[in-house]
Chain A
């Protein structure tokens, strides 16, 4: 049953009313307006995402989730629905699923408007979630390593004490001194902790303009890679040239650098601390 033209018009008016209430922070009135719009025309995804936004402001995450899921059923490409669904899932501590939704929103958002505020906001939330996840996991890993290291040291000491009387008098140059053994053990454990130790991100994974790790890298005909939003900004505001080689450059010449994007992804997978945003 398709709504009559009158109903569609009425629903649209209700949406605008809702938007006005929302701007005035009258969330209850806004929710009522969107709900009426939904009753009239349940197949318009924006009514659902707008209501979800109100629920989000009220921290009513179960409702956010419900509305976003309905919106996605109606429109698989809704950036806002995937984004807010992701946030709702993170609130429920469903990390994996939440991150997946945010990544989906990010991909869709970049396709639509790579310089938009939504993309930046989604990235911030995604990075925050990833960083927290890393913090959680790495604390666990470092605790495990520390415990194991202490046990190894105790065991090594015991072994050295047991062996000591036998080797007395026979100094064998090829066996390691007991001090050396501890040093090697230490080295092994330091090596194991390396990935979780925050340091500098390699230069080749950072944009020459932002000096930050790549998110959405694009390459120019000169072969230089930049962060997409920032190089577009440069072409708009500074001039139509490659910032490093100064060769003429137009936005249409930018091509995604998928290899670097994959490399960054792999790097972040192992070095979660690099999601730190400040």
Chain B
């Protein structure tokens, strides 16, 4: 059993519920530029449209992020992946997993969906080459049976891109 399926069966804690409701209200009043939250009645999974920023390699392109919240959010990071087809990027695998430290080891409960989205867009925007990570095939094969990226032992290549 993967931790993904294990965590998705558990309901959100009261703290998590409260906080997500507040984040949603804030998002509706003040959405981060370039993002569009697709309304559902599921507080536990958000689907967010990302528009590549003008003047970058991804200008005019549109992708979808899927954000799943664990029971003890925000004490635990949300699971954030691109719904394939994922953007071609040196830190984004073809199965949608994103190599970004704040989603794993460097998560802090003071971060929000909105701030995570902004980090992901800035990661896209600063890219200089549309290519997959060097270890893409090996990594994606290892994730075959629906493994969550939160189980991966990431080593973060660099902070620049």
| Chain A interface (Cβ < 8 Å from any Cβ of B) | 208-212, 230, 233-234, 237-238, 241, 243-244, 246
B26 partner residues in chain A, CB cutoff 8 A: 211
Given A211-B26, A234-B75, A237-B75, are A244 and B18 also a contact pair (CB < 8 Å)? no
A211 partner residues in chain B, CB cutoff 8 A: 18-19, 22-23, 26
Query: Would you give 20 A-B contacts (Cβ < 8 Å), ordered by A?
Result: A208-B110, A209-B74, A209-B109, A210-B15, A210-B19, A211-B19, A211-B22, A211-B23, A211-B26, A212-B18, A212-B22, A230-B15, A234-B75, A238-B75, A238-B108, A238-B109, A241-B108, A243-B110, A244-B108, A244-B110
User: Out of A210, A233, A238, A241, which one reaches B18, CB within 8 Å?
Assistant: A210
Bound form: Cα–Cα A41–B72 in Å? 44
Nearest chain A CB to B78 CB, angstrom units: 14
User: Out of B19, B22, B109, which one reaches A243, CB within 8 Å?
Assistant: B109
Q: Size band of the B side of the interface? A: 10 to 19
A212 partner residues in chain B, CB cutoff 8 A: 18-19, 22
Nearest chain B CB to A208 CB, angstrom units: 5
A238 partner residues in chain B, CB cutoff 8 A: 75, 107-109
Q: In chain B, what residue has the closest Cβ to A237?
A: B75
The 4 A-B residue pairs whose C-beta atoms are closest, nearest first, are A243-B110, A211-B22, A243-B108, A244-B110
Q: In chain B, what residue has the closest Cβ to A120?
A: B14
B22 partner residues in chain A, CB cutoff 8 A: 211-212
B19 partner residues in chain A, CB cutoff 8 A: 209-212
Bound form: Cα–Cα A212–B26 in Å? 12
Nearest chain A CB to B87 CB, angstrom units: 28
A234–B109 contact, CB under 8 A? Answer: yes
A237–B110 contact, CB under 8 A? Answer: no
Nearest chain B CB to A273 CB, angstrom units: 15
B residues 140-161 in Cβ contact with A at 8 Å: none
Nearest chain B CB to A202 CB, angstrom units: 13
Bound form: Cα–Cα A243–B111 in Å? 8
Bound form: Cα–Cα A243–B19 in Å? 16
Nearest chain A CB to B93 CB, angstrom units: 26
A246 partner residues in chain B, CB cutoff 8 A: 108
Q: A209-B110, A210-B19, A243-B110 are in contact. List 13 more A-B contacts (CB 8 A).
A: A209-B19, A210-B15, A211-B23, A211-B26, A212-B19, A230-B15, A234-B75, A234-B109, A237-B75, A237-B76, A238-B109, A244-B108, A246-B108
B74 partner residues in chain A, CB cutoff 8 A: 209
User: Out of A208, A237, A243, which one reaches B72, CB within 8 Å?
Assistant: A237
A208 partner residues in chain B, CB cutoff 8 A: 110
Nearest chain B CB to A54 CB, angstrom units: 27
Nearest chain A CB to B75 CB, angstrom units: 5
